[in-house]
Structure 1
Amino acid sequence: MSTVPESKTNGETTLSSEDEGHTSLAKRLAGANTLWIGVVLLLLIAVFGAIRPDAVLTTFTLQTTLVETSVLLVLAVGMTFVIITSGIDLSVGSVLVFSGVTSAMTMNAMSGGDATKAGWGVVWVGLLVALVSGAAWGLLNGLLIAKSKIPPLIVTLGSFGAALGAGQLISNGSNVAGVPEVLGNTLGTGTYLGIPNLVLLAAVVAAIGALLLTTTRFGRYTYAIGSNEEAARRVGISVTGHLMKIYLLAGVLAGLAGFMAMAYFRVASVTGHDTDNLNAIAGVVLGGTSLFGGAGSVVGTVLGVFIPAVLRKGFVILGVNVYWQPIAVAIVLVAAVWFDQSRRRARNQR
Structure 2
Amino acid sequence: MSVPQRSAGDEIVDGPGPTPGKTLRARLAAAPTLWTGLVLVVLCVLFSAVRPDAFPTLFNLQTLLVQAAPLLMLAVGMTFVIITSGIDLSVGSVLVFAGVVSAQTMEALSGGDATGAGWGVIAVGLLAALVGGAVWGVLNGLLVAVAKVPALIVTLGSFGAALGAAQLLTNGVDVRTVPAALRETLGTGTSLGVVPNLVILAAIVTALAGWALHTTAFGRRTYAIGSNAEAARRSGIDVARHLVSVYALTGVLAGLAGFMSLAYFGTTTISGHSNDNLNAIASVVLGGTSLFGGVGTVLGSVIGVFIPAVLDAGFVMAGVRPFWQPIAVGAVLVAAVWLDQRRRRARNSR
After TM superposition, the score normalised by the length of structure 1 is: 0.93
CA distance in 2, matches of 1:304, 1:116: 38
Q: Does 1:192 align with 2:191?
A: yes
Query: Which residue of structure 1 lines up, in the alignment, with residue 214 of structure 2?
Result: 214
Task: Identify the residue that residue 329 of structure 1 maps to in structure 2.
Answer: 329
**Superposed CA offset, 1:177-204 (max 9, x none):** 1100100001000011210011111111
Partner of 2:81: 82
Q: Could you give the per-residue CA deviations for residues 89-117 of structure 1, whole angstroms, max 9, x where no partner exists?
A: 00000000000001100111111123332
Q: Distance in 2 between matches of 1:233 and 1:35?
A: 33
2:339 alignment partner in structure 1? 339
Counterpart amino acid of residue 40 in structure 1: V
Q: List per-residue Cα deviations over 1:52-98 (Å, max 9, x = no partner).
A: 11111111111111111000001100000000000000000000000
Query: Partner of 2:48: helix, strand, or coil?
Result: helix
Moved more, 274-283 or 50-59: 50-59
How much does 1:332 deviate?
0.9
Give 2:6's aligned residue. none
Which piece of structure 1 moves more, 244-253 or 320-329? 320-329
Query: 2:7 corresponds to which residue?
Result: none
Q: Deviations over 1:121-162 (max 9, x none)?
A: 000000000000000000100111110000000000000000
Runs of 4+ residues deviating >3 angstroms:
12-15, 22-27
Aligned to 1:225: 225
Matched residue, 1:240: 240
Q: CA deviation at 1:346?
A: 1.3
Distance 1:309 1:343 in 2: 27
Query: Which deviations, in whole Å up to 9, do the C-alpha atoms of 1:224-281 show, x marking residues without a partner?
Result: 0000011110111000000000000000000000000000000112111000000000
AA aligned opposite 1:132: V
1:162 corresponds to which letter in structure 2?
A: A
Q: What amino acid maps onto 2:313 in structure 1?
A: K
After TM superposition, list the pairs within 5 Å mapping 1:1-350 onto structure 2: 24=23, 27-193=26-192, 194-350=194-350
Structure 2 partner of 1:5: none
**Aligned-pair distance for 1:26?**
6.5
Distance in 2, matches of 1:172 and 1:116, equals: 24
Deviation at 1:50, TM superposition (A): 1.3
For residues 219 and 263 of structure 1, the distance between their equivalents in structure 2, rounded to whole angstroms, comes to 30
Matched-pair identity in %: 66
Deviation at 1:14, TM superposition (A): 7.3
For 2:53, what is the secondary structure of its paired residue?
Answer: helix
Residues matched between the structures, number: 337
**Structure 1 residues 14 and 337: alpha-carbon distance in aligned structure 2, compared to 1, 3 A threshold:** closer
How far apart, in 2, do the equivalents of 1:13 and 1:229 lie? Answer: 36
Structure 2: distance between partners of 1:30 and 1:290: 14
User: For 1:53, what is the secondary structure of its paired residue?
Assistant: coil
Q: State how far apart, in whole Å, the 2-side matches of 1:27 and 1:274 are.
A: 39
The one-letter amino acid of 1:192's match is: S
- Please say if residues 30 and 343 of structure 2, whose CA atoms lie closer than 8 Å, have aligned partners that are also in contact: no
Inter-partner Cα distance in structure 2 for 1:30 and 1:332? 16
Distance 2:100 2:93 in 1: 11
Separation in 2 of the partners of 1:198 and 1:73?
Answer: 11
* RMSD after superposition: 1.8
Contact map agreement 2:225 2:239 (CA 8 A) in 1:
yes
Normalised by the length of structure 2, the TM-score is 0.93
Letter paired with 2:249:
L
113-122 vs 179-188, which deviates more? 113-122
Alignment-mate amino acid for residue 33 of structure 1: P
CA displacement, residues 316-347 of structure 1 (integer Å, 9 cap, x when unaligned): 11111111111111111111111111111111
The gaps in structure 1 that reach 5 residues or longer are 1-8
SS at match of 1:55: coil
SS at match of 2:322: coil
Provide the C-alpha distance between the structure 2 equivalents of 1:205 and 1:25, rounded to a whole number of angstroms.
34
3-state SS of paired residue (1:56): coil
Please identify, of 145-154 and 47-56, the stretch whose mean Cα deviation from structure 2 is larger: 47-56
State the distance in 2 between where 1:88 and 1:241 align: 17
Runs of at least 5 residues in structure 2 that lack an aligned partner in the other structure: 1-11
